[in-house]
Amino acid sequence: MKNRIIHYTEGDTAPVLALNLNKDITGAAVKFVIDYPTKLEKSATIMAAATGDLEIAWAAGDLRKGKHACQIEIAAADGTVQTIGGMYLQVEAKI
């Protein structure tokens, strides 16, 4: 997922962000973290753990104008944590 830019418009709540991690995340907790001045952490809904399919649902106010670094944090059942970075959230202003 390195150098991936995800595009949205400020204030939107749809569509959900669907991601595939191409790894088994059975038993893991997964967060999507956005580097706003006050970090935003969104819990992922795991759609298919064996293949790493997940979704991030947006709430009002989650998507803020600008280009923001973001990461996926995977907390495995055994207590280990893996962080996947190199992604950016590009949110354009609503006209």
Question: Are 70 and 32 spatial neighbours (Cβ–Cβ below 8 Å)?
Answer: yes
What is the C-alpha separation between 76 and 1, in angstroms, rounded?
19
| pLDDT, the chain, mean | 95
Q: What is the pLDDT of residues 1-46, one digit of tens each?
A: 667 899 999 999 999 999 999 999 999 999 999 999 999 999 999 9
| Distance between first and last Cα of the chain | 30
pLDDT for the residue 1: 60
Chain-centre distance for alpha carbon 65: 16
Q: Which of 64, 9, 6, 70 is nearest to 42 (CA)?
A: 70
Per-residue model confidence (pLDDT) at position 21: 95
